[in-house]
Structure 1
Amino acid sequence: MPQTSRALGDISDSLKAPFLPHVNPDAISYEQVHTGVCVHIPGSAKMLFGDELVFYWGVNSSSTPILLKHVNSNSVVRVLCVSYHFIGCVQYGLVDLYVEVYRDQHLIGTSPALVVTVNRNSPVTPRQRQRKRNMIRRYAKKPDKNRF
């Protein structure tokens, strides 16, 4: 992680972690992460127009400038839709989501990380398990009585 420039002032204390408004971060399903998960990047009163945001989903990153003239702690400065169909390195298990803020190409702040759990397989309910057993039994090959 690059060193924060002291001359520009560290704004890390004013940054909030990214959040997922419609998803439980402790159990992101295989289907959700392949369909797309919306990530909101909250603003900070210390962010300025033109600051560069670098968002990290594990080792994957995406950058964009802040284009809002007025940013405060209630602002959402960026909304991303992350889909495993379109990212380079697919990660399962615990994944860190965080944002770095750059001003004049100097790191001035890093948000706290939101740790999410991305499941490789969708959880199976008892009902789904029973249905699978029934299907296997129903379509299992029965021994041929006409064989020797």
Structure 2
Amino acid sequence: MSEDDSKTPPPDERPKEDAADVVEEPTAAYAERKPAVAAIPPSDISDTLKPPQLPHVNPDAITQEQVFAGIVIHIPGSVKLCEGDVIIFYWGRNASQTQVYHRVGANSIVREMCLSYHFMAEPQYGLVDLYYEIHRENQLIGTSPALRVTVNYSPPLTPKQRQRKRWISRRFPDN
């Protein structure tokens, strides 16, 4: 055995030059708990919402020609609407969505749209409910009162019906 080998300590006794001393501190009790966050859901604003409006249209007698030509619908504002709220408007089973980009007043119009049955997936006739929902942070916070409209379906006229209509209009010229 050489002189150098005797001075070399065995591998278990060698000091570790690269490793720092590890100090384990006890964990604090508050670190284990999750911070208490008040997850308060947004309040319900349904009481401040007004039903959709149909200017220049009688909601009790909407003709087939009117719905195919397009009907203007106004969604009124609310003082509780905030920037970033999402409005989902329903015409029966058809839905349309938009976002509020600025604060609005109670007497303002948030959205004005023109709906036509040419562009709807499911045209409906008879009684149809019109309403909208307000969503904030992916939570429903309000539903407007429904406006119930009647969309009349007028079937195509046969030649006999056209002829009868002409006879009636000749007999009663005031009609």
Q: TM-score, normalised by structure 2?
A: 0.67
Q: 2:119 aligns with which of 68, 71, 86?
A: 86
Q: 1:70 aligns with which of 103, 110, 133?
A: 103
Q: 1:53 aligns with which of 80, 87, 93?
A: 87
Residue aligned with 1:88, SS: coil
1:110 aligns with 2:140: no
Answer 1 or 2: higher relative contact order, Cα 8 Å, separation at least 6: 1
Aligned equivalents of 2:58 and 2:163: distance in 1? 23
Give the structure 2 partner of residue 42 of structure 1.
76
* Number of aligned positions between the proteins: 124
1:120 aligns with 2:145: no
- Quote the offset at 1:10 in angstroms: 0.1
Runs of 5+ in structure 2 lacking a partner? 1-39, 156-161, 170-175
Deviations, residues 10-41 of structure 1 (Å, cap 9, x unaligned): 00000000010110000001100000000000
Give the structure 1 partner of residue 42 of structure 2.
8
Runs of 5+ in structure 1 lacking a partner? 1-5, 123-127, 136-148
Q: Which structure's CA Rg is the greater one? A: 2
Aligned equivalents of 2:163 and 2:131: distance in 1? 37
Structure 1 runs (4+) greater than 6 angstroms displaced: none
Amino acid at match of 1:15: L
Residue aligned with 2:42, SS: coil
Deviations, residues 30-88 of structure 1 (Å, cap 9, x unaligned): 10000000000001000001100000000000001012x23111010001111000000
- Quote the offset at 1:132 in angstroms: 2.8
Q: 2:133 aligns with which of 94, 100, 109?
A: 100
Aligned equivalents of 1:60 and 1:117: distance in 2? 16
- Quote the offset at 1:134 in angstroms: 7.2
Q: 1:17 aligns with which of 44, 48, 51?
A: 51
